[in-house]
Amino acid sequence: MVLLGMDPERKSPVNHQSPSQQVFPSQSKRECRAYERTLSVLSALAETSTLALGEITARVANAARRGLDFEHLNLLLMDEEQSALMPLEHNPEVKLSVGQGLWGWVAQHGAPLNVADVSQDPRHVVVPSLWPPDVRSALIAPLMVGDRLIGVIDVASSRPHAFDADDQRLVTIIGQQLAVTIDNARLYQETERRLREVSTLYQLAQQMNTSLDVQEMLDSIVHSLKRTMGCRGCSIALLDAVDNALEICASAGIDSKWHRDFKLQLGEGIAGRVALEGTPVYVADALQLDDFIFFDPTVRSLLTVPLSIKQRVIGTLTVDSDQPNAFSAADERLLTIAATQVAIAIENARLYASLEQRAQNLAQAYAELKIADRLKDELVQNVSHELRTPLTFLKGYVELLLEEEAGPLNAEQKKYLEILSEKTDTLTQLVNNIMSLQYAEQVLEQKGPISLTQLARRAVRGCMATARKNNINLVEDLPPDLPPVSGDEGKLLQVFNNLLGNAIKFSPDGGEITVTLEDAGPMVQVSVSDQGIGIPKDKQGHIFEKFYQVDGSIRRRFGGAGLGLAIVKHIVEAHQGQVWVESDLGQGSTFYFTLPKYQKREKSG
């Protein structure tokens, strides 16, 4: 509160108007005086602007005195919970709830209030430290930053009816200007405090990043916190998962005896309680607690916060002092943030040690898998080679029997031999596919210029007989002037054959299959479209996997081992291309693949 002496000479506002101005009507004169008064006060406010909250009240009172006749001025600000008003000077005896007294009414409604006689207003409550008993009239205005209330300003007088509408407008304007000033000062102080905290936390982070050795890191942290917070001692206790006991793992400023003897169960002592409940505990004066466990009798105040990872407490961080009331809310906030960093650093160090061991195990497992994969490939290749020879002989003898080289056959015998020939062809195709898959995964060494237009025509001609047999129409859309691609002709022909074979297999009688080639920048794009059964959306990501079938009924109905598309994928990707499918169930499918255009290499030298 600021008390100002009355100016006995000031009976009415001083007339500073020129003679020419005095010819205006009285209303215009009053407005002009009000404008000049407002400008004078605002100029004074601007001249005395400050970021020091403690100086604002006195400076505002001096500035407001230029345009207002009052004896008392107060600034009350909202607390952090936005539930009560407290004087800017932080008088602990004054705390007014929103809605309490004239100040609380203004805070509640966000509107100015001009009270001609406070003694006659039922909302008035007596607060001697703000207004003495002789106060009769008061003007109170809200301090607003946008739509946010940060406090109220009042001016008061011992005279009743001391303030008029112009005074109310002026105080409201002062409040608007003052709210911005106070908000900036608060922001400045908060920024300064946060910078100090950030500097401390940055130093901690630097220390945590210098080593992944848990003990070395913890020792560095406790010494840094002790130095930064100016406390007597700092310690970190970690929870043993086996016996649920807290043991000090690192400390600074604490006698080695207490370090060695410290062991608390969950819920025991301050640290045990923090570890059990997962919330900070501040003991302002240990002598006031009957159940305080003294490991060191010099401790008077203590602040302990949990070390938590994903709501799981792994230990506690404690600072202590030999003085009572040594720590503030800001200290608790800083220690809580530091504890979060420490907990993460501890967990990271533990994870690093665990990952190192896992990496060694994985390296060993990977080496074993590579050996197993090589043996598998060799086994498949050897088995496939071994199957080819007897299948060739089997096919040859079946054909000889069908040609009746060994004597005449009756109809039933021919039927059985034709079934055997068909199944031999199926088994031979499976062996060929397995061999093709092995070769498709090999890195291409020789890649020449290939005309995809000519290759696509060859593939279409090769499938023409099968398509006609199934009453399917093959359509070509092959531009003659496409640039060549880089690749292996035999393997790329197999890609066309597999995609066309798939399309024929799943196309309905009378359906149409279209083969299209397009220029796609650095690539040539190929598409094979059919009008078949389509592929469900949730299955399209799997159809290029080895031995994959959309469902068992597909295999029973159409046959196949699920290797054709896997071979396509391996060959295309070995050519640095891409393959994909677009399909809707019951509306056919379009398979796409791209291949890079051939780039002629210039000979060096």
Residue 533 lies in a domain: yes
Does the reported pTM lie above 0.85?
Answer: no
Structural tokens at position 527:
């598409």
Residue 133 clears pLDDT 60, i.e. is over it = yes
Q: Does residue 293 share a domain with residue 171? A: no
**Residue 590, pLDDT score:** 93
Is the pLDDT higher at 556 or at 189? 189
Q: Does residue 461 share a domain with residue 555? A: yes
Rounded Cα distance, 73 and 593, in Å: 81
Rounded Cα distance, 385 and 202, in Å: 66
Q: 3-state DSSP: the chain helix, strand, coil percent, rounded to 5?
A: 50, 20, 30
Q: What is the pLDDT of residues 351-405, one digit of tens each?
A: 887 888 888 888 898 888 888 877 876 776 677 667 766 777 777 777 788 888 7
Q: Does residue 298 share a domain with residue 184? A: no
Q: Tell me the pLDDT band of 68, cut-offs 50, 70 and 90.
A: confident
Contacts of 597 (CB under 8 A, 6+ apart): 483, 484, 485, 486, 522, 523, 524
Beta strands in 267-387 (DSSP E): 281-283, 301-309, 312-321
DSSP secondary structure code for residue 122 in this structure: T
Residue 338 clears pLDDT 60, i.e. is over it = yes
Question: Following DSSP, what letter does each residue of 325-336 receive, concatenated?
Answer: T---HHHHHHHH
Q: Does residue 119 share a domain with residue 60? A: yes
Would you give the end-to-end CA distance of the chain in angstroms? 93
For residues 378-402, one letter each, b for 16 or more C-beta atoms within 10 angstroms of the residue's C-beta and e for the rest, the string is eeeeeebeebeeebeebbeebeebe
Q: Tell me the pLDDT band of 8, cut-offs 50, 70 and 90.
A: very low
Mean pLDDT calculated for residue range 84-92 = 76
What is the average pLDDT value for the chain, to the nearest integer?
81
**Residue 402, pLDDT score:** 80
**Residue 19, pLDDT score:** 41
| Structural domain total, the chain | 3
Tell me which range, 30-34, 217-221, 276-280, is most confidently predicted by mean pLDDT: 276-280
**Residue 354, pLDDT score:** 82
Mean pLDDT calculated for residue range 141-158 = 92
Mean pLDDT calculated for residue range 500-524 = 91
Residue 407 clears pLDDT 90, i.e. is over it = no
User: Could you list the residue range(s) of the whole structural domain that residue 449 is in?
Assistant: 442-596
Structural tokens at position 296:
């060191």
Mean pLDDT calculated for residue range 403-419 = 82
Residue 602 lies in a domain: no
**Residue 16, pLDDT score:** 42
**Residue 3, pLDDT score:** 42
AA letter at 589: S
Q: Rounded to an integer, what is the distance from CA 307 to the centroid of its chain?
A: 22
Last residue in a domain, options 321, 351, 381: 351
CATH number of the domain within which 142 lies: 3.30.450.40
**Residue 17, pLDDT score:** 45
Rounded Cα distance, 129 and 122, in Å: 20
Rounded Cα distance, 61 and 3, in Å: 9
Q: Does residue 153 share a domain with residue 71? A: yes
Residue 126 lies in a domain: yes
Q: Tell me the pLDDT band of 189, cut-offs 50, 70 and 90.
A: confident
Q: Are 474 and 464 in contact (CB under 8 A)?
A: yes
Residue 357 lies in a domain: no
**Residue 441, pLDDT score:** 59
Rounded Cα distance, 392 and 400, in Å: 12
Helix 165-209 crosses helix 214-229 at what angle (to 10 degrees)? 140
Last residue in a domain, options 301, 321, 351: 351
Q: Does residue 170 share a domain with residue 219? A: no
Is 76 exposed, middle or buried, given 0-12, 13-18 or 19+ CB atoms closer than 10 A?
buried
Last residue in a domain, options 322, 351, 380: 351
Residue 513 clears pLDDT 90, i.e. is over it = yes
Residue 9 clears pLDDT 50, i.e. is over it = no
**Residue 605, pLDDT score:** 40
Q: Does residue 240 share a domain with residue 178? A: no
CATH number of the domain within which 447 lies: 3.30.565.10
Q: Does residue 223 share a domain with residue 102? A: no
**Residue 350, pLDDT score:** 79
Angle, CA 153 vertex, CA 147 and CA 157 arms, to 5°? 150
**Residue 27, pLDDT score:** 58
For residues 493-514, one letter each, b for 16 or more C-beta atoms within 10 angstroms of the residue's C-beta and e for the rest, the string is bbbbbbbbbbbbbbbeeebbbb
Q: Does residue 534 share a domain with residue 479? A: yes
Contacts of 336 (CB under 8 A, 6+ apart): 280, 305
Rounded Cα distance, 200 and 196, in Å: 6
Q: Tell me the pLDDT band of 436, cut-offs 50, 70 and 90.
A: low
Number of CB atoms found within 10 A of residue 418's CB: 12
**Residue 18, pLDDT score:** 43
Residue 84 lies in a domain: yes
Kindly state the helix (H) or strand (E) to which residue 3 belongs, with its residue range: strand 2-3
Rounded Cα distance, 603 and 605, in Å: 7
Residue 20 clears pLDDT 70, i.e. is over it = no
Q: What is the pLDDT of residues 266-282, one digit of tens each?
A: 888 898 999 999 999 99
Lowest-confidence pick of 192-196, 358-362, 475-479: 192-196
Q: Does residue 219 share a domain with residue 177? A: no
Q: Does residue 140 share a domain with residue 234? A: no
Return the closest-CA partner of residue 148 out of 178, 183, 174.
183
Rounded Cα distance, 20 and 228, in Å: 68
Contacts 24+ apart (CB under 8 A), 203-207: 203/228, 204/338, 204/341, 204/342, 205/341
Residue 590 lies in a domain: yes
Residue 410 lies in a domain: no
**Distances from the Cα of 242 to the Cα of 171, 220, 269, angstroms:** 67, 27, 19
Is the pLDDT higher at 111 or at 92? 111
Rounded Cα distance, 261 and 334, in Å: 28
Q: What is the pLDDT of residues 275-324, one digit of tens each?
A: 999 999 999 888 888 777 777 788 889 999 999 988 889 999 999 999 88
Q: Tell me the pLDDT band of 551, cut-offs 50, 70 and 90.
A: low
- Give the sign of the dihedral formed by CA 263, CA 269, CA 273, CA 279: negative
Q: Does residue 183 share a domain with residue 82? A: yes
Task: Give percent above pLDDT 70 in the chain.
Answer: 82
* 434 φ/ψ angles, rounded to the nearest 5 degrees: -65, -45
Tell me which range, 142-156, 294-308, 425-439, is most confidently predicted by mean pLDDT: 142-156
**Residue 326, pLDDT score:** 87
Task: Give percent above pLDDT 90 in the chain.
Answer: 28
The DSSP bridge partners found for residue 477 are 516
Helix 411-440 crosses helix 329-402 at what angle (to 10 degrees)? 140
Residue 94 clears pLDDT 60, i.e. is over it = yes
Mean pLDDT calculated for residue range 550-554 = 57
Residue 173 clears pLDDT 90, i.e. is over it = no
Residue 100 lies in a domain: yes
